[in-house]
Amino acid sequence: MTFRLQLSLLSISCTLVLAACSKAPVTPPDHAENANKAAAVWPQLALPVAQDAAMEQRISDMLATMTLPQKVAQMIQPEIRDISVDDMRQYGFGSYLNGGGAFPNDNKHATPADWIALAEAMYQASVDDSLDGSTIPTMWGTDAVHGHNNVIGATLFPHNIGLGAANNPALIEQIAAVTAREVMVTGIDWVFAPTVAVVRDDRWGRTYEGYSEDPAIVHDYAAAIVTGLQGAAGKDFLGAERVISTVKHFVGDGGTVGGDDQGDNIASEKQLFDIHAQGYVGGLQAGAQSVMASFNSWHGSKIHGDKYLLTDVLKDRMGFDGFVVGDWNGHGQIPGCTNDNCAQAALAGLDVYMVPTSAWKPLYHNLIAQAESGVIPLSRIDDAVRRILRVKLRAGLFDKPGPAKRPLSGKTGLIGSAEHRAVARDAVQQSLVLLKNNAKLLPLNPAQRILVTGEGADNIGMQSGGWTISWQGTGNTNSDFPGGSSIYSGIQQAVDAAGGRIELSADGSYGTKPDVAVVVFGEQPYAEGNGDLDNLEYQRGNKTDLALLKKLKADGIKVVSLFISGRPLWVNPELNASDAFVAVWLPGSEGAGVADVIMAKADGSVNVDFRGKLSFSWPATPQQQANVGDADYQPLLPYGFGLRYGEQSTLSNSLNEQVAIDNSLDDLVLFERAIKPPYQLVLHSGDSSKTMDSSVAQLGNIAVRTFDKAVQEDARRLTFSGAAKVSLTSAFPADLRSYAEAGSALMVELQHNGNVPDSVLIGMDCAQSCNSSINIAPQLKAMAADGWHTLSIDLACFAQQGADFSQIFTPLSLTTAAPLQLSFADIRLTPALAQSATVQCSE
C-alpha cells in the first residue's frame, strides 16, 4: 500500500517536471567517461521521428497511474505456446510472440482466420482491465524474415543473401511493403526483421539471413526494408498497411570468432561501428522503432547485459528512443542470470524481455521484487515502459480497433496474391548469380529435350531454406506451399509452352537421352546454430551430388548446375563437373523465377538476363574466409562477380580439387544442438519404430522431447515407461574405422533423474548382425541425479562385442527394459580419448 502510494507520488512529480524526470535515471559514475568513449566512435544520428510533447505528456500521465506489476508486464514478452488468453487477461503483457514454427492452436495449417482469431482474443484480453486493471493494448511480434514465413500460403521471398546479390534497395522496399501487408492481414503488429548482420565468416549458420559481407549494402538495405515495413516518416509512417520493424541483432552477430552462432566478436570498437553497425545507422535513420539485442558477446561480454553498448552507445549516443527487445531467453545467458531471473539485462538497458517457455512467470515476479527492493531503479523501469508506450502510440495501437477490425485484417486474398508473388518472382530473377557458362550453354532453348534432376529440383521446402513454416525449415513438402512453384515446375512450363520435352527424375536416370541436364542440388534447410560448419567444403566425405554430375557428364550430356545454398561453399569439384553453374541461393516460394532467367524464349533469344552479383566472396578453399577489402584477397570469385549473357565464362574447368590434408581427425559430432545429418533420432517400441521429426515424439513405451539446456532445443529428454529403444540412425552405413584406429571414445553428455534400472544398454549397430552393446547402468548409478555428466566409452569396447566399424548405421542406441528418464545433449566420437574414458576396454 505505502509502496503503491509512493510510486504514484513519484510519478505525479514526474508529470510536473517532465523533462527532468524522463532523463532522470540514476547517473552511474562511469557515465561521463562512457559518453566520451562512445562519442569517439559512434555518431549522433539524425532520426526522422521527432518526439512529440503531447505524446510524451500522455505517456507520463499513463505512467503516473500504472502499478509496478502493470509496468513490469509491459516488459515481458512470452510466447504463444506458453501462455493462454487468460494469462494475457490476468497479466496484460506488453507484447507476445510466436517463435519459428509456432502457430495458433499448434496447427501448422492454421488459416489466416485462425491467426486473426488469436490476435483478436489476445488483444481483447489485454485491453480488458477486469483482472489486471490495465487497458493498454498488447502487440504481437513474429519472424516474417522472408515474407510472412510462418503462415501457409504466404509469399516467400528469397532469403536475404539472394536479395543482397540483387543489390537493389528499391526492390527491397517493395518486398518489405508486401511482407507488411501479408502480416497485417493476419492481425499481427510487429516483425522481427531486418537482420542486418554483416557476415564475415560464412561458416556461420545464419549467413543467409545477412545481405552481404559489405557494410555498404547492409546500410542501404536496412533503410529500405525499415521504410517498406513501417512506411516513411512523415508520410504513411506506421499507417494501416504497415508494421513495426526490428533491426537485429545488435551488434556484431556476423563477426564472431569462427562464425560461431551466439559466439564472441572481438572486433575493435571502430570495426564494430564501421563493419557491424552500419545496418543500425541505416535502419535507425529510416525510423526503426525497435532493436533486438544479440545473443553474441563483444570481447566476452554478452550484449544482453552490456550497458555500454545498449545504453551509452545505442540510446544515449545514437539517440535511439524506441525500445530494445531481447532475443529468445538471451538474458538467461548473461553470467549470473537464468531465464527466470535477470535484473542485469534491465540494468544494461533491455526494455522487453523475450521470454519463451514457462520462465516468463518467475521472471515477472522476480523483476517486480527487484524493482521493489531497489535492485532495479524505478526510473529504469519507467524508462523502459515509456519507450514501449511511445512505440505503441506512434503505431496508433491505442486508437486502432482490435486486430480483427483493422483495414487489411481478413483480406485473405492478399496472402500469396498474384501481385505479391510477382514481386517475389522478380526478386528471384534478380538474385541469381551466374558463375560459369561454358560455350554460352545458358540460356537453354526450351524446345530441346531436357532432364531435370537432383534433390532440389521439385522441392519448394529445400529451395526455401530455414525459417520456412517451421523454425528449421524442415518437414515441409510441396503441398505446404499452395500457390508456390518449384524450380522444376517453372522449367516445365517454359518447355511445355515451346513444345520441348522434359523429364523429371530424382536420381539422374532417364528414358531417352536428353540434350541437356539441369541438376538442382545443395544444402538442406537449417536455421541458427544448426547451420554452423567447421569448413566450407560442400558434401565433405559424401559427394553424392558430384557423383550425379559426373555420371551425366560421362553419358555425354551437358550439365547445368543450379546450386541451392545459404552461403558460398567450396564446390570446386562440382564446378569442374558442370558446363554452367548458377548460385540460386534460397529463392523461396517462387521457384519459377529461376526458369525465367535460365530458359530462353521460344526463338532462342534471352528472356530475362542475369543481374545478380556476388554480395559474398566465393571461397577458393574450404578454409578460406575472404572478405572484400582484405589485405590478402584471393577468393575463387570476387565480391561483385556475376556473368551476364553474352559474357565470356572465365572459370577454369580444372580448378584445384585437392583439399589440404588435415592430419588431425576432427570430432565426429552426432549431436550438438541438433542431431547432425545424416543421423536421425528413431524411437523403437515393440515391433514399431518412428523417426522424430518435430520437437516431441511418442511411440509405445517411449516419449522424447526437446528442451533447452544452454541454448534453444540443445537437449533431448527420453522418458521410457517400459521396454523400448532410441537410436541415432542413418540410412547409409558410415565407415568409422579411422575413429576406432585413432583410439576414440564415444562421448555422451547426459542426465538422469535418480531412478536407474539395472540394465541400460548403449549400443552401436552395423549393417548385419554385428550389433554390440554395453551396460552403462553402473556408471549412471554413480552419477548424481539431475546434474549433467559426461560418459565416455572406449570404442574398443564395442569392437570386442563384435562391432564392425566399416559399416556403422547406428553409432548410438539406448535400450532399457524398465522405466527410465534420461536426457542427453552433446554426443560425439572424439579421437585419442580412449585412454581416459570412463569405460575402457583396450588392454
Catalytic (active site) residue 327: yes
Rounded CA separation 667/678 (Å): 16
Nearer to ligand BGC, 471 or 610 (CB): 471
Pick between residue 324 and residue 452 the one whose CB is nearest to ligand BGC: 324
Task: Choose among 802, 757, 795: nearest CA to 776.
Answer: 757
Cell numbers linked to 402:
482490435
The residues that bridge with 141 in the sheet, in sequence order, are 97, 190
Q: What is the Cα–Cα distance from 188 to 95, expressed in whole angstroms? A: 11
Q: Active-site residue 528, yes or no?
A: yes
Which residue lies nearest ligand BGC, judged by its C-beta?
Answer: 99
Pairing of strands 190-191, 139-142: parallel
- Catalytic residue selected from 189, 327, 455, 537: 327
**Which of these, 693, 675, 671, 673, lies nearest to 683 by C-alpha position?**
693
Which neighbouring-strand residues pair with 562? 520, 582
3-state SS string over 708-753? CCCCCCCEEEEEECCCEEEEEECCCCECCHHHHHCCCEEEEEEEEC
The 8 Å CB, 24+ separation contacts for 40-43 are: 41/269, 41/270, 41/272, 41/273, 42/273, 42/277, 42/313, 42/317, 42/318, 43/281, 43/317, 43/318
Nearer to ligand BGC, 249 or 390 (CB): 249
State how far the Cα of 181 lies from the Cα of 179, in Å rounded to an integer.
5
Q: Specify the residue, 81 or 601, whose C-beta has the smaller distance to ligand BGC.
A: 81
Cβ-in-10-Å burial (0-12, 13-18, 19+) of 661 comes to exposed
Cβ of residue 99: shortest distance to ligand BGC, in angstroms?
2
Q: Minimum distance between the CB of residue 101 and ligand BGC, rounded to whole angstroms?
A: 5
Q: How far is the CB of 529 from ligand BGC (least distance, A)?
A: 9
Instruction: Give the separation between CA 468 and CA 482, rounded to whole angstroms.
Output: 13
- Asked if residues 465 and 153 have their Cβ atoms less than 8 Å apart, the reply is no
CA atoms within 13 A on the CB side of 145: 31
Beta-bridge partners for 97: 79, 141
Catalytic residue (one of 528, 579, 749, 826): 528
CB atoms within 10 A of CB 759: 14
Q: Which residues bind ligand BGC (CB under 6 A)?
A: 99-102, 143, 192, 248, 327-328, 471, 528, 712-713
Q: What is the arrangement of strands in the sheet containing 264-265, beginning at the earlier edge strand?
A: 264-265, 297-298, 301-302
If the CB atoms of residues 345 and 582 are measured against ligand BGC, the closer one turns out to be 345
Strand bridging mode 449-453 / 353-354: unpaired
**CB neighbour class for 17 (10 Å; exposed up to 12, middle 13-18, buried from 19):** exposed
Q: How far is the CB of 328 from ligand BGC (least distance, A)?
A: 4
Least spacing, CB of residue 535 vs ligand BGC, in Å: 24
- Least distance (Å) between residue 768 CB and ligand BGC: 38
Q: Are 795 and 832 in contact (CB under 8 A)?
A: no
Q: Provide the residue type at 817 as one letter.
A: A
- Where do runs of H (alpha helix) occur along 377-476? 378-394, 418-431, 460-464
Q: For residues 450 and 597, give the distance between their C-alpha atoms in angstroms, rounded to a whole number.
A: 16
Q: What is the DSSP letter of 518?
A: E
Q: How long is the chain?
A: 843
Q: Which residues are catalytic?
A: 327, 528
